[in-house]
Structure 1
Amino acid sequence: MSASPDTERFRCSLAALARGDVPVGTAVPARYWMVVAHPGPWPAKPIEAAGIADVAEELSAAMGRFGARLQLIRRHGRLEGELVEADGEPVFLVDVRRGLVGRASWQRPEDLVELAARFDDLPDPTSEPLVLVCTHGRKDVCCAIDGRVVAAVLDDALPGAVWETTHLGGDRFAGNVVLLPEGSQYGRLDGDVAAQVVLDHFDGRVDLDRWRGRCSWHPAAQAAVHDVLGSDPDVRLPDIAPPHVEATGDDAWTVRVDAGGRSSLRSVVRTMSQPHRLTCSGGAKVQAIYTVTTA
């Protein structure tokens, strides 16, 4: 006998898909990321994880000087709570603006505080990509169910580049992935499409149905670029300079998108939806909706 609607467990990603929620404009607003390997368990807030919680105040202050976002990571297939490596766990300091990733390791919580001060002086910098897949089950059920499948598929396609991670926002768009240091985020990935979407992105092709935006850009810029990419096949995301955003009201902007020597102007207006359950366990909240027209 099938379950009745009253007894079925609510899934925010399925509800968002049924409503037709649009992913673009929802990329996490973060230009700097502190990505810390941690075996778990992962609490709802990364700063409260074992060991890290011992230096929470100092680490928050150090990251706060850059507005950095903390993410915990572990390799796909690693069991929660496995012992920390004897020579330390990896730490990645990501500067999205410069497209660089600094690489280090930590053994003591105090090491993290020291590293959080090095975004201007990245250790062992590289531009090699990090692919983070949200599998944060304690934060949202959909992220665990959909994210772990996506992590497995991407780990096969891009060995060495893929990590499971804590909350990336937009639970209702699970499976969620961020590509660092470039900063693009994708949602609604599954085992069938994840590898192709990510590999296409690295080749300069954007899946506009699943692209959430770039985390270093204002949401209005994300929406404007999405519209330009969808209307002009000659424009490629890698060729787009950081968009110029000018507020024209409390919820309205003009965005100039420059690419390949050409400029495009877009008007972007934000409205708010009716309240909906946007996560598996939370209450009803409104969501931002961006409408784009040619300026």
Structure 2
Amino acid sequence: MSTCTTASRDLDEPLAGTAATARTWLLLEQPGPWGPKALTSSHLDPELGRALEVAAEGTGVRIALIRRPGRHADCGTPAARQIYAAHTLPGNVWLRTATTSEPERLLDLDFTALGRGDSGTFDSVFRAEPHTGDPLAFVCTNGKRDRCCALLGRPLATELTSSGVEGVWEVTHLGGHRFSPTLLVLPFGYAYGRAQAPHVKEILQGVRDGRVVVEGCRGSSAWERPAQAAELAVRTAAHEYAADALTVVRTDGTAPRWEVTVAHTDGRLWRVLVAQGASLPPRPDSCGSPLGSPARMDVVSVRELLTTVVGGPAHC
């Protein structure tokens, strides 16, 4: 039976520039079944879920539910839940963790401050601490949103966990069902598609070493989609894989064409031309959806700008 992932893979649809955008992630443990819109269709109080959606809107914070890999019996509400908050903007990357028996206290957070990278609100409400363990891998497994996420994501999460990989969670929704299995890796916030267990292990080792694995990468969630594609293109062109080396300093233009300026911590600058195209021939955006032409981000050119150092920072 054909699926959206089969069509996307067979048509070699590019992955770069397809990651969900969120400068800050807020992840709440919620075992049991998830519905299509998990914040309001799970064992989480739906009124709390709706209030969280409203609180996060327009703040740069993306909220998702997580659960540990394995069988998901309908076993009710846990006594204590794991929660994570992570900011992914280069220069201020952090990952904080806490547990709570009162998920409604999430509404006490200052979502605007959290979205701009201030961890103080999360720390004060939940007495959070820095996450000091292995990097975290969140694999999308919500089959109620798209069956491919369950058919492909759940076995990946199970395989990783059974092989001894620490820090693996299932997550409700990362977007891009047709790229399943999809995952988000924290603390750096890069998303991946069409993931296989050996590749995920390589990605996680890269995070431990402070590196970004570009193969299979959809982009950094810190940036909008044209900038995601541009940053990955610069990494490839410059052979620069240190996670904290590059940042997007400017994006000019509107769809379907942008000029993105990417900066290196050593002062180098690149100008990247990105064009939005339509994926052809038509294919389903997700299982059961009509045929369409999903937008794609095509890097037209990558040009390093000449820079000179005059009494300090580089100038172009």
TM range (shorter): 0.7 to 0.9
- Closer, same or farther: CA 80–216 of 1 in aligned 2, 3 Å: farther
Give the 3-state SS of the residue equivalent to 1:39 in structure 2.
Answer: coil
Whether 1:30 and 2:22 are equivalent positions in the alignment is yes
Alpha-carbon separation, structure 1, partners of 2:203 and 2:103: 36
Shift of 1:179: 0.8
Shift of 1:66: 2.3
Correspondence list, 1:137-286, <5 A = 137-155=143-161, 156-159=163-166, 161-233=167-239, 235-261=240-266, 262-274=268-280, 275-286=282-293
- Closer, same or farther: CA 196–73 of 1 in aligned 2, 3 Å: same
Alpha-carbon separation, structure 2, partners of 1:254 and 1:209: 23
- The residue type equivalent to 2:36 in the other structure is A
- 8 Å contact from structure 1 (residues 103, 122) kept in 2: no
- 8 Å contact from structure 2 (residues 255, 275) kept in 1: no
- 8 Å contact from structure 1 (residues 96, 181) kept in 2: yes
Equivalent residue number for residue 137 of structure 2? 131
> Greater shift after overlay, 70-79 or 187-196?
187-196
1:68 aligns with one of 49, 58, 61: 61
Q: Deviations over 1:156-179 (max 9, x none)?
A: 3432x1111111111111111101
Shift of 1:29: 0.6
Alpha-carbon separation, structure 1, partners of 2:196 and 2:36: 23
Shift of 1:109: 4.8
Shift of 1:152: 2.3
Alpha-carbon separation, structure 1, partners of 2:16 and 2:198: 21
Q: Kindly report the root-mean-square deviation, in angstroms, between the aligned alpha carbons of the 2 structures.
A: 2.3
- Closer, same or farther: CA 192–236 of 1 in aligned 2, 3 Å: closer
Alpha-carbon separation, structure 2, partners of 1:250 and 1:90: 39
Q: How many residues align?
A: 284
Alpha-carbon separation, structure 2, partners of 1:31 and 1:172: 23
Equivalent residue number for residue 111 of structure 1? 105
Q: Percent identity between the aligned chains? A: 29
- Closer, same or farther: CA 36–78 of 1 in aligned 2, 3 Å: farther
**Please, what TM-score do these two structures have when normalized by structure 1?**
0.86
- The residue type equivalent to 2:18 in the other structure is T
Equivalent residue number for residue 49 of structure 2? 56
**What runs of 5+ residues in structure 1 fail to find an aligned partner?**
1-8
- 8 Å contact from structure 2 (residues 26, 63) kept in 1: yes
Whether 1:13 and 2:5 are equivalent positions in the alignment is yes
> Greater shift after overlay, 276-285 or 30-39?
276-285
Equivalent residue number for residue 102 of structure 1? 96
- 8 Å contact from structure 2 (residues 250, 262) kept in 1: no
- Closer, same or farther: CA 173–110 of 1 in aligned 2, 3 Å: same
**Please, what TM-score do these two structures have when normalized by structure 2?**
0.81
Alpha-carbon separation, structure 1, partners of 2:110 and 2:74: 24
Alpha-carbon separation, structure 1, partners of 2:232 and 2:49: 37
Alpha-carbon separation, structure 2, partners of 1:281 and 1:106: 38
> Greater shift after overlay, 235-244 or 19-28?
235-244
Equivalent residue number for residue 40 of structure 1? 32
- Closer, same or farther: CA 224–67 of 1 in aligned 2, 3 Å: closer
Equivalent residue number for residue 3 of structure 1? none
